[in-house]
Each structure stands twice: as structure tokens, then as C-alpha cells.
């Protein structure tokens, strides 16, 4: 028997609410008559904006309160940007559905400069991501990279106020909010790697809730799950979190999976790359293989092990 109302825990940012509403609409379409409501919440990751995520506990701070709401029975599921979901979930939680992935590229956003190469020497660029900082420093070691936290609107507002010459955001987030016109250029694979799982929306639920899991399974995209599995397996094998600059990009073609991975150093701009291919039934093994190749190149040093 279906629950009378399916309750979605979500952060309160405009992007998080868009994603939760999107999932709610898909659920209503897949299960006519199902009632779905949002339970907006504020997480510690949303509240602490004056420190980099890497120093206050990582992206898992965006999940904790939503998971507590599910454990306490105040919500049945949570909707996340998959790149914010740690490689290892808390015990008792699963990801029963991953939606089709949108544009995984990063966006170069600037009001006065067409692309990264056009920025003047010493230009101030805002991003809170160590992965983005490492790749920026590799390309333009002269840039002054400054931390940038807050939701998409807050970040764009700081750019518009003149705090930065440019900022780097995710293309998918801007597109979902109707802000695609702000994208001056795409920083895209294979030369520039996104975060593992970037541009995919994940649905988290409690293990063992059979009726809820059955409803959510209808939304799962098998192809996206395959590529995400490889990226997250690589990240997990590296012990990746937002305290380490790790990039991953996996695609599914007619001959199987191709994965390119990166570990970087945000201070020096040193980047290590590795790649591999496999059949589609070996996604996890592919991720582990690419991670092992990166470790063999010396990624341990960059990972602080």
C-alpha cells in the first residue's frame, strides 16, 4: 500500500527547491493519485558561509539534517545534487533513484570577459571548490583565487557587485534556474573534469522501506547510474571528499564505459590524470582501476595520506 503522502526533505535554496519540485512532478506523473509534499529545511552547510566547506566537515553537512528528518519519520525521502553526496552513505540509507544527468560541465561566468584566457593578469576568480581551484591554477597560475560560498543567487550577486572578475559555477544549476544566459563559456571534459556525479539528481531514502523504494525505482535512469557508479567508485577508492580536489567523467558508448579521473593540488595546480575503459557490467571495477592508476602516479601525496 502506498503511503498517503510522500514527503520530500530538501534544502531551502532555490536550486534545491527546483530539484525537489522536479522530483515531485516526476513522482506524480509516474504514480497518478500519489500525494507529494516538500519539507524544506536548513542544513549546517547552508548556515556556515564564512568558511570553506573543506574546513568545516565537507559536503556531507548538506545531508545530515535531511537524514535525521527521515530517521525521525518527518520525511520519506531526500533530494540531493549527487555531487554533494559522500562516496560512502551513512548506514541505513540508499540511493534508489538517480535521474538522467544534465550538462556536467562547469560554467565560466563573467560580466566583462569572454573566457578564462581573456582575464587580466592577477584577476580575482571566485570558487569554493578545491577541484575547480586546482584546474584553474593549472591553466592560469597568476589568478587570485578567492573562496565563494552561498547559493547561486548570492554568488552571482557578489560577481555583479564587482567582488570578482569571474566565478565558476555548474552549468546544470544555472540552466535549471533559468540562468543559462549567464554562462559565458563551458569548462568541459575531457580537458576540464567535473566533480563525481555532477549534474545528476539523486534521491536518498531509508533502507528497508519497501513501499517508498518501489515508488522511487520508477525514476531511476539505468545509464546514468552506470556512469555515476564508476565515478563514485573511483572517488571512494581515493577517499575523496570536498577536502581533496578530485574530478571524474564517465560516459557510456556502444563499446561500454570510458572513465577519466583527476586528482589535483589547489595550491600548486599540479594535476594527475588517468583513464580506463570497461564493459558496462564492470562500472565499479573500472572506477577502482582508474583510482589505482592515479595512486600509482603519486596521488597519495596530493591526498595527504
Query: Whole-angstrom Cα distance, residue 227 to residue 283?
Result: 7
Query: Whole-angstrom Cα distance, residue 19 to residue 209?
Result: 22
Out of 76, 84, 103, 265, the active site residue is 84
The gap from C-alpha 10 to its chain's centroid, in whole angstroms, comes to 15
Per the annotation, the verdict on 84 as an active-site residue is yes
- CB count within 10 Å of CB 236 equals 17
- CB count within 10 Å of CB 252 equals 16
- Cβ partners under 8 Å of residue 10, min gap 6: 16, 17, 19, 20, 38, 39, 40, 41, 66, 78, 79
Per the CB < 8 A criterion, the answer to whether 74 and 42 are in contact is no
- Residues acting as catalytic residues: 84
Amino acid at each position: 500500500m502506498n503511503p498517503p503522502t510522500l514527503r520530500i526533505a530538501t534544502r531551502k535554496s532555490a536550486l534545491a527547491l527546483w530539484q525537489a519540485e522536479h522530483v515531485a512532478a516526476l513522482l506524480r506523473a509516474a504514480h497518478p493519485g500519489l500525494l507529494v509534499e516538500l519539507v524544506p529545511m536548513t542544513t549546517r552547510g547552508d548556515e556556515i558561509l564564512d568558511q570553506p566547506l573543506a574546513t568545516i566537515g565537507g559536503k556531507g553537512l548538506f545531508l545530515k539534517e535531511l537524514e535525521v528528518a527521515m530517521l525521525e519519520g518527518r520525511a520519506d525521502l531526500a533530494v540531493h545534487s549527487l555531487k554533494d553526496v559522500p562516496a560512502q552513505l551513512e548506514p541505513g540509507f540508499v540511493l534508489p533513484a538517480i535521474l538522467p544527468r544534465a550538462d556536467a560541465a562547469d560554467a565560466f561566468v563573467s560580466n566583462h570577459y569572454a573566457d578564462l584566457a581573456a582575464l587580466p593578469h592577477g584577476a580575482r576568480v571566485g570558487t569554493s571548490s578545491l577541484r575547480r581551484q586546482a584546474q584553474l591554477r593549472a591553466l592560469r597560475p597568476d589568478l587570485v583565487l578567492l573562496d565563494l560560498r552561498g547559493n547561486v543567487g548570492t554568488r552571482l550577486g557578489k560577481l555583479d557587485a564587482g567582488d570578482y572578475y569571474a566565478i565558476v559555477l555548474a552549468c546544470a544549476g544555472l540552466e535549471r534556474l533559468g540562468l543559462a544566459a549567464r554562462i559565458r563559456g563551458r569548462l568541459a571534459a575531457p580537458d576540464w573534469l567535473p566533480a563525481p556525479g555532477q549534474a545528476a539528481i539523486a534521491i536518498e531514502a531509508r533502507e528497508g522501506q519497501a513501499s517508498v523504494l518501489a515508488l522511487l525505482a520508477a525514476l531511476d535512469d539505468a545509464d546514468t547510474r552506470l556512469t555515476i557508479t564508476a565515478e563514485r567508485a573511483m572517488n571512494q577508492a581515493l577517499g575523496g571528499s570536498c577536502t581533496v580536489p578530485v574530478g571524474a567523467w564517465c560516459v557510456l558508448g556502444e563499446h561500454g564505459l570510458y572513465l577519466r579521473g583527476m586528482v589535483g593540488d589547489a595550491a600548486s595546480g599540479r594535476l594527475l590524470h588517468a583513464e580506463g575503459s570497461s564493459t558496462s557490467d564492470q562500472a565499479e571495477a573500472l572506477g577502482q582501476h582508474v583510482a589505482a592508476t592515479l595512486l600509482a602516479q603519486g596521488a597519495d601525496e596530493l591526498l595527504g595520506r
